[in-house]
Chains A and B, each alone.
Chain A
């Protein structure tokens, strides 16, 4: 190898390793610390690999209510994602495949939601939720969660639906299918990849959602995972390994999802951005 090339190689590796340390060290710190005993943490807080692995913290955080937060997050995330997929695909069908006067304005109205600062809706939603009598229940989160998942979902679905060949629809029409039938028999089976994209995007977005949970939920029994973690922090000020175990567990579902379906997750998370 020529000297110049060697220098270039070395520089590249130095850069890559610096970036690796910057991104990976906090993770290793989190996971490593979660396996340390309290005494080991205080003696040696910086090491990544504990001398003695202990998994007691993982059990104790579950005893302290983490499983409850997990369950709440699962319930609300799953129901919001399912409802979003349903109503977003229904709405995307006429928006992408039918001609009517309000088509474009309606589409823009929905998609404009992507640019919105959530804060502009917080106080009215807080008031509304109390008026509906669902304040401090999981149900309070459902409306805002579905509503804020709609813009990107409709954006992705309409783009995808436009690609479906017109002939498929016309053939079904000749067979006497109405729009409802066409939607279920022709459109829906053809948008499965787009649906998996929006399921992933919305799952990650809602699994980590914090501010609506913060203003709409106060009882620990109804808290979602991010809110529960924040609640934990107060109790765990001293028990750092315990808190790290909780943080590791909370991150696990999304990390597993990523490891299992890397390409889909990336596509999901970048959503419409790449095309824009």
Chain B
């Protein structure tokens, strides 16, 4: 790579100075529209969220009372917050240990000698294309205690019908099944893309060495997929903090906070209870958690690349 001559010269002639200014102006013109929109609707709001988080404010009246970090102290002794955080973490665990493996299994099925692959390929991917709101509403009726097909199956096995979404013990499981249904296809696609990239020679070499199917999977396929596992896990962690729609639609966080997540709790505090200050505190903490996750992931990534692990 050549060095940036135009920025590091020792002697700058007026001509070069003019050129440099002109170049700066050109760059600015190209970047400005995007930067403006980004600053107004993303950067400023994040700063404002941190600012609001230090006020007692209902969002409707102009009057705000500065209370410093009081909202944060309240939050840390708020059991609903901890419950919500716990549910978010459960979401991460389910993504990493259920969705990602299920996505891998789907991809493996599509790579095996099986009839109707094209058809399966389309069908497996369908859930990921639907809007979460539509999915939520559809599954509310799937889980309907009287007319829902899920309970039909439950009764087929001789059990009593379960009020899935209304029962504290089953609501979270019920939603997690929907989340698995919706997002496994996404990981399937990632794995498929990675599997296409594994060179055939590796399998041929393994065959010559006398490896059976299982050995080929463990010694060729799986190691080649490790970067995809890493990417998938990162997406799962970051994505779970953004979750909102499905929980809001299906249970609104209930019953009794059993399916509360940070997103629904923040929404409720801000737009239903009109505690905008407190809601901002929850939002600020969500931002900080996401930020911390990204930093940790970056550090791990850096270490991994440095040591050449998994890559």
Report B-chain residues with C-beta under 8 Å of the C-beta of A6: none
Contact A144 B41 (CB under 8 A): yes
Contact B131 A250 (CB under 8 A): yes
> A22-39 interface mask toward B, CB cutoff 8 Å, 1 = contact, 0 = none?
111111011001000000
Contacts A16-B120, A147-B41, A273-B231; A87 near B34 (Cβ below 8 A):
yes
Contacts A207-B131, A230-B133; A12 near B109 (Cβ below 8 A):
yes
Q: Is the contact region of chain B dominated by helix, strand, or loop, or is it mixed?
A: helix
Residue of A nearest to B34 (CB): A91
> B246-264 interface mask toward A, CB cutoff 8 Å, 1 = contact, 0 = none?
0011000000000000110
* A20 within 8 A of partner (CB): yes
Report A-chain residues with C-beta under 8 Å of the C-beta of B31: 90-91, 94-95, 106
Contact A247 B137 (CB under 8 A): yes
* A179 within 8 A of partner (CB): yes
Shortest distance from the beta carbon of B6 to any chain A beta carbon, whole Å: 7
Contacts A115-B290, A123-B59, A244-B138; A210 near B131 (Cβ below 8 A):
yes
Contact A127 B59 (CB under 8 A): yes
Total of A-B residue pairs, C-beta within 8 Å: 265
> B275-305 interface mask toward A, CB cutoff 8 Å, 1 = contact, 0 = none?
0100110111011001001100000000000
A210 CB contact (under 8 Å) in B6, B37, B123, B133: B133
- Tally of B interface residues using CB under 8 Å: 88
Report A-chain residues with C-beta under 8 Å of the C-beta of B286: 117, 119-120
Interface size class of A (residues with CB under 8 A): 35 or more
* A59 within 8 A of partner (CB): no
A94 to B33, CA, bound (A): 13
Report A-chain residues with C-beta under 8 Å of the C-beta of B208: none
Shortest distance from the beta carbon of B47 to any chain A beta carbon, whole Å: 8
> A255-276 interface mask toward B, CB cutoff 8 Å, 1 = contact, 0 = none?
1001100100110011001101
Contacts A122-B270, A123-B59, A233-B137; A211 near B34 (Cβ below 8 A):
no
* A50 within 8 A of partner (CB): no
Could you list 8 further interchain pairs (A-B, Cβ under 8 angstroms) beyond the known A88-B34, A99-B7, A101-B7? A12-B114, A20-B124, A26-B142, A29-B141, A29-B142, A90-B33, A211-B263, A214-B267
Q: Which residues of B contact A (CB under 8 A)?
A: 4, 6-7, 23-24, 26-27, 30-31, 33-35, 37-38, 40-46, 48-49, 52, 59, 105-106, 109, 112, 114, 120, 122-134, 137-142, 147-149, 152, 181, 185-186, 189-190, 193-194, 231, 234-235, 238, 241-242, 244-245, 248-249, 262-263, 266-267, 270-271, 276, 279-280, 282-284, 286-287, 290, 293-294
